[in-house]
Amino acid sequence: MRRLQETKPIRHALLWIAGYIPMVNLGDAVSEAIGITNVGTALLLIACSLVLLGYLRVGHRTRS
């Protein structure tokens, strides 16, 4: 993914977006199954944000 980020940043962004959309749909389904509005979506998106932050931090460390 690092190489893709450096050589084709738009494709890299589209891949992240392509992962985000199904994650939101899955979170909505989980929320509906639990019966608490948006809790499943919120938890999955928080997890996604943490993964993305870790990904960006590791990438920043390897460039320095």
For the stretch 32-54, pLDDT in tens is 999 999 999 999 999 999 998 99
Question: Residue 63: which pLDDT band, with cuts at 50, 70 and 90?
Answer: low
Residue-range definition of the domain harbouring residue 26 = 2-63
At 39, list the tokens: 């809790």
* φ, ψ dihedrals at 30, nearest 5°: -65, -45
Rounded CA Rg of the chain: 15
Question: Residue 1: which pLDDT band, with cuts at 50, 70 and 90?
Answer: low
Domain count, the chain: 1
What is the torsional sign of CA 22, 37, 44, 17? positive
For residue 24, what are the CA distances in angstroms to 13, 16, 19, 47, 51?
A: 17, 12, 9, 12, 15
